Structure 1
Amino acid sequence: MSSSNGYGALPHNSRPSANGDEEQQPLLHGSNNQMSKTTRWRKNMTADVRRDWADLVLLACYIITGLLDSASISTWGSFVSMQTGNTVYFGLGITAPHESTRWIKSGTSLGCFCIGSVFFSALHRVPSPSPKRRWILCTSFTLQMLLIAAAAAIITFGPDAAEGVDPKESIDWPVLAPIALVAFQSCGQAVASRALKYNALTSVVLTSNYCDLFSDAELLALRNPERNRRVGAPTLLLIGAVLGGVLARSSVGAAGVLWIAAVMKLLVVISWLLWPAEKE
């Protein structure tokens, strides 16, 4: 004889329906999968990128440097990456400050480059015990991309230069601001080369590169990776300089060159996202 169970009560010998457990399973699996993806993403972003072949990414940055410097020289008469020339221009300006305004733009570029060096070195050094962390490299090059894009936006959407004023002599903010932004980000590539232990691939200087290349005792050896890098660096920068000069003098203009450089920086960010991690 069965006993009454009351409203909603289960029989004494009954068990919860298996369907009830199954109804909860998708939620649990979905939560676990989401946690697993988040964990994998976090682990991937906090891993060190593998140094092997990373020099190819740094060599590609020489093209960007060539684009930016050739467009800057063609348009404003000062460098935004290679600061040796800016130092000379600044020194000449001190001796004859009223002959040209180039020294003001060169000094602006030089000062912002130095400040950027402090910033990007701190970015690689302070938040993490390893400067090769994937998220640090991605963050660094994302900031570089955004700064170039901001400079390009100022040229594209900002006020036009005063009529009859040579852009190479103008020191208005639509000229100085892009120079400052691009110079600030330029040292990010050099700091990244230090983080990856490719100290020769700074992408902002070639004088020492030429010296090391032609003083190499194994210059003509069949297998010489260092020699190959030293040949690739000036070659790629020359390619970028030619392209930047041609585009800056065309309808594309300096703004177009900066937009192209920003896209190339984005490709570098994607490269670091997909780059293999160091083995634990």
Structure 2
Amino acid sequence: MAAPDAVQYGSFSVPGQTRGSTNATRDEDARLLVGRKSGYGQRWRGKMVQDVRPQWTGAILLLCYTITGFLDSSSTLTWGTFVSMQTGNTVFLGLGPVSSDNRWKKSGLSILAFCLGSFCFGRLHRSISPSPRSRWVLCLAFILQALFSTAAASIVTWGPRAKEQNDASWYVAVPIALIAFQSGGQAMISRAVKHNALTSVVLTSIYCDLFSDTELFKPSNPDRNTRVAAPVSLMIGVIAGGLITKSSLGTAGVLWIVAGIKLLLIVVWLIWPGDEEGA
């Protein structure tokens, strides 16, 4: 009399199921699982290469104006120079021959770093992707901005402390260069999302466009509303940045907050609606 097939402890068998059919079922399950994973991957890749919808991206640029206010108020209080708005730095640089301090040197460094940042981020948006509005490019741009902001914050937090505003040592110059570089990248976002007027670093042209608008007092005027919101957003950042700089958090606190906002904006770009025309 033949002995029954041994069944190991902890296992079970299904009547009528052979070892071959079990293996076939496992193979089929594996193929289905791989197919599902492949489908998820394809959808994810499709989402990341998709252009973001430009509508309402002006709201992100207005937040960038607030970031500019944070940075420039803190940098002028701490180092005596701007790191985003380069018109003032150009004036400081021009006053170099008649100045007795190092402000013109720091302003010149900020201008140079900002221009280099605009150059590099411009190539990032236009050269490595068919569209400057690709989701993954926008995410990468803000990842880099966050990294530069974090590096500057780390130096200010754990590096040597500047003895006075006129100090131009490396622990002053390097954070200025890092922040100005990423500010050039931030300004490029307005070009990528087709809001050229909202550079997030310039207000003079916005004031001109606002008060020369023939429909300035029209009840429904979205362009006017946006132009009004830009200086208001920057002023909010300036006031907040000044208060934080003068508090126990100091300039380092401002830089860490900016780095955190940049990381938050990466998430915003990830969930931002895609452009159906670019899908």
Do they superpose with TM above 0.5?
yes
| Alignment match, 1:117 | 118
Secondary structure of residue in 2 paired with 1:128? coil
- Deviation, 1:131, is 0.7
Query: Aligned match of 2:272 in 268, 272, 275?
Result: 275
Cα distance in 2 for residues equivalent to 1:83 and 1:160: 25
Query: Aligned match of 2:261 in 258, 261, 264?
Result: 264
Report the aligned-residue RMSD. Answer: 1.4
Indicate conservation of the 8 Å contact 2:62/2:230, yes or no. Answer: yes
Cα distance in 2 for residues equivalent to 1:152 and 1:143: 14
In structure 1, list runs of 5 or more residues that go unmatched.
1-14
| Alignment match, 1:138 | 139
Letter in 1 for 2:270: L
Cα distance in 1 for residues equivalent to 2:262 and 2:198: 16
User: Deviation digits for residues 185-224 of structure 1, max 9, x if unmatched?
Assistant: 0011211101111001100010000111111111111221
Cα distance in 1 for residues equivalent to 2:150 and 2:43: 31
Q: How does 1:1-280 map to 2 (within 5 A)?
A: 17-93=20-96, 95-97=97-99, 99-161=100-162, 165-166=163-164, 168-279=165-276, 280=279
TM-score by length of 2: 0.91
Bigger shift: 146-155 or 16-25? 16-25
- Deviation, 1:160, is 2.7
Cα distance in 2 for residues equivalent to 1:227 and 1:180: 34
Letter in 1 for 2:104: W
Cα distance in 1 for residues equivalent to 2:228 and 2:48: 32
Secondary structure of residue in 2 paired with 1:218? coil
Cα distance in 2 for residues equivalent to 1:39 and 1:275: 18
Cα distance in 2 for residues equivalent to 1:242 and 1:110: 24
In structure 2, list runs of 5 or more residues that go unmatched.
1-17
**Identity rate, percent:** 52
- Deviation, 1:267, is 1.1
User: Deviation digits for residues 62-94 of structure 1, max 9, x if unmatched?
Assistant: 11010000000010000000000000000001x
Cα distance in 2 for residues equivalent to 1:171 and 1:53: 41
Number of aligned residue pairs: give it: 261
- Deviation, 1:105, is 0.5
Bigger shift: 144-153 or 18-27? 18-27
Letter in 2 for 1:148: S
Cα distance in 2 for residues equivalent to 1:24 and 1:58: 51
